[in-house]
C-alpha cells in the first residue's frame, strides 16, 4: 500500500510521513527515485539523493558522522559517516542502537 496525500492549498503531494517533529528522518510512503522531490507537509521539498524504497527512512536535515538518527522522537542509531538531506538511511550507513 502506498500513501500520497494531497496537501490542501499547495497542490503538492506529500510522499513521506513525519512521525515526530524531533525526528531528523522521515519515512517514504511510496518508492522515491533519485532526483524526485521529497515533499514534506507544509510545502517543504528537497531532492532525493538516491532511490528510496517505500517504508524506508530519508534524512530531512544533515546528520554528522556519529550523530544520533532520531525516529519516533528517540535515537535509533548513529550515522556511519555524514548524511545529507535527501539521503536514504538504512543498515549500510547507520549503526543500529546496541550494535558494536
Q: 46, 88, 36, 42: which is closest to 63 by C-alpha? A: 88
Question: How does strand 68-71 pair with strand 74-79?
Answer: antiparallel
The pLDDT value recorded for residue 5 is 47
Tell me the DSSP string of 22-35: T-SEEEESS-B-TT
What pTM does this model have? 0.84
Torsional sign, CA 41, 7, 11, 47 = positive
Q: Which residues pair with 44 in a beta bridge?
A: none
- CATH code (residue 71): 2.30.130.110
pLDDT in tens, 19-39: 999 999 999 999 999 999 999
pLDDT-above-90 percentage for the chain: 77
Contact 19, 27 (CB under 8 A): yes
**Under-70 pLDDT residues of the chain:** 1-12, 99-100
In whole angstroms, what is the distance from residue 80 CA to residue 75 CA?
14
Q: Note down the domain range covering 50.
A: 5-96
In whole angstroms, what is the distance from residue 57 CA to residue 16 CA?
9
Number of domains in the chain: 1
Amino acid at each position: 500500500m502506498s500513501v500520497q496525500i494531497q496537501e490542501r492549498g499547495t497542490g503538492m503531494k506529500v510522499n513521506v510521513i513525519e512521525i515526530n517533529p524531533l525526528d531528523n528522518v522521515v519515512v517514504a510512503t511510496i518508492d522515491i527515485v533519485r532526483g524526485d522531490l521529497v515533499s514534506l507537509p507544509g510545502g517543504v521539498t528537497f531532492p532525493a539523493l538516491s532511490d528510496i524504497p517505500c517504508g524506508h527512512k530519508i534524512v530531512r536535515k544533515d546528520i554528522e558522522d556519529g550523530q544520533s538518527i532520531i525516529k519516533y522522537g528517540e535515537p535509533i542509531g548513529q550515522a556511519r559517516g555524514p548524511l545529507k538531506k535527501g539521503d536514504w538511511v538504512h543498515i549500510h550507513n547507520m549503526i543500529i542502537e546496541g550494535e558494536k
